[in-house]
Amino acid sequence: MSLRLGVNIDHVATVRNARGGIHPDPVEAALLAVKAGADGITAHLREDRRHIRDEDIKRLRAVLRAPLNMEMAATEEMVDIACDLKPHACCIVPERREEVTTEGGLDVAGQNALLVPVIRRLSDRGIRVSLFVDPDPKQIAASAAVGAAVVELHTGAYAHGEDGELERLRTAAAQAAGLGLEVHAGHGLSFGNVAPVAAISQISELNIGHFLIGQAIFDGLPSVVQEMKRLMGAARGAAL
Ligand code: PXP
């Protein structure tokens, strides 16, 4: 089975929003990521719009040729936006305003009544619905029961180096695939920890954001410094 990379561009918007302007543009970053080989783009439209904004997600939908995976909370507002936008997929995540990032998986088992109509509305619009869950057998069984097509396994605890987490991910992936769910994974993945997760055969997609955007600073800084020095030198008619 092939393994796709979904690139999460939220933190390009974080940097843009720090200055309130239009640079760097997350849509331009998404196009660049796809050109470089990303198989899809993920963006999280949070209730507080702290990074991705409504306009970003609309532009992404309009210009991207690759599949767009919209992360969102299971609220009426977000379901309305998604049904209007019709992205390839929606990944439902738990959301708390005070959190820095998505801290844990959804409690699918405990939120059955909330999730069933949300999943139905999105699925009826032809959107693939993914549920972001901890690698917990109870949550995976509940995800299949509520009618999700996909589970995305939360790799945060694994990324933090917690004991036994890789094994939990392996077991969860096998269980989910056995129940007929497509299996994705993500959160906290980096060059240093991706390999053992990428080796889990049932996983067909990894969604990675913060590390890639952060690492792009180190990989990109030399060339932008050189270009700035070139422009400065050209303005003075000499190499600096
Ligand atoms: N998958 C989901 C469902 C997420 O909420 C996030 C974080 O927005 C990611 C993947 C990517 O995590 P990271 O930015 O740590 O790579």
Summarize the confidence of residues 128-132 as an average pLDDT: 98
Q: Which domain holds residue 203?
A: 4-239
Is 118 touching ligand 1 by the criterion CB < 6 Å? no
Is 91 touching ligand 1 by the criterion CB < 6 Å? yes
Amino acid 239: pLDDT: 81
Summarize the confidence of residues 63-89 as an average pLDDT: 98
Nearest CA to ligand 1 atom 11: 187
The CATH number covering residue 97 comes to 3.20.20.70
Amino acid 103: pLDDT: 72
- How high is the mean pLDDT of the chain? 96
- Which residues on neighbouring strands pair with residue 203, listed in sequence order? 183
pLDDT single digits (tens) 27-53: 999 999 999 999 999 999 999 999 999
Q: What is the pTM of this model?
A: 0.96
Q: Is the backbone peptide bond immediately before 24 cis, with ω within 30 degrees of 0?
A: yes
Give the dihedral of Cα atoms 238, 218, 48, 39; nearest 10 deg.
110
Amino acid 102: pLDDT: 66
pLDDT single digits (tens) 77-110: 999 999 999 999 999 999 876 667 667 899 999 9
Domain count, the chain: 1
Amino acid 96: pLDDT: 76
Whether residue 114 contacts residue 107, with contact meaning beta carbons closer than 8 Å, is answered with: no
Is 102 touching ligand 1 by the criterion CB < 6 Å? yes
Distance 236 CA to ligand 1 centre (A): 45
Distance 153 CA to ligand 1 centre (A): 10
Nearest CA to ligand 1 atom 12: 187
pLDDT single digits (tens) 140-167: 999 999 999 999 999 999 999 999 999 9
Is 188 touching ligand 1 by the criterion CB < 6 Å? yes
**Spatial separation of the C-alpha atoms in residues 52 and 27, rounded to whole Å:** 10
Nearest CA to ligand 1 atom 6: 187
Is 87 touching ligand 1 by the criterion CB < 6 Å? no
